[in-house]
Amino acid sequence: MLGLFNYWLAIIIILIGFYGVIAKRNLLKQAIALGLFQTGVFLFYVSMGVVQDNGVSGVVPIWTDAEKTGPFDNPLPHVLMLTAIVVSVSTLAVAVAIIVNIKRKYGTIEEDEILDIDRGER
């Protein structure tokens, strides 16, 4: 069970983020929760890169002065998540840009107030 600790944590973070997106009324909080949701996925991917070969733990595959032998941890998920982090940051940037414009046009960033304004216009 303790070996799966990372995965439990990843799922908990994903669910907290997902809850935030659904339950929060403030648009900025929803954007932050979305970022949290994606962070849980990063932890999930990175955890799968760990290598255990007959009880010998994997070594980080980075050049140092010391000689390195033995099983190396898989760097591929780390590389993939670098890209995914960039995607997450870009999404947050676009979301915040849209929220700034919403604040300019509506005067509020609370979702229920925006819905009321839109309905009131009809």
Q: What are the residue ranges of helices labelled H in the chain?
A: 5-23, 27-47, 76-106, 111-121
The verdict on 51 binding other proteins (CB under 8 A) reads no
Report in angstroms how near the CB of residue 63 gets to other proteins at its nearest.
20
51, 78 contact by CB (below 8 A): no
Q: Which stretch binds other proteins (CB under 8 A): 50-58, 60-68, 80-88?
A: 80-88
The verdict on 52 binding other proteins (CB under 8 A) reads no
Which of 60, 98 has the CB closer to other proteins? Answer: 98
Report in angstroms how near the CB of residue 11 gets to other proteins at its nearest.
10
The verdict on 34 binding other proteins (CB under 8 A) reads yes
Containing H/E element for 57? strand 56-57
Which of 27, 66 has the CB closer to other proteins? Answer: 27
Cα–Cα distances in Å, from 85 out to 30, 36, 51, 56, 104?
18, 11, 23, 30, 29
Q: Which of 87, 112, 113, 116 binds other proteins (CB under 8 A)?
A: 87
The verdict on 38 binding other proteins (CB under 8 A) reads yes
Q: Are strands 56-57 and 52-53 parallel, antiparallel or unpaired?
A: antiparallel
At residue 56, the 3 state secondary structure works out as strand
Report in angstroms how near the CB of residue 115 gets to other proteins at its nearest.
8
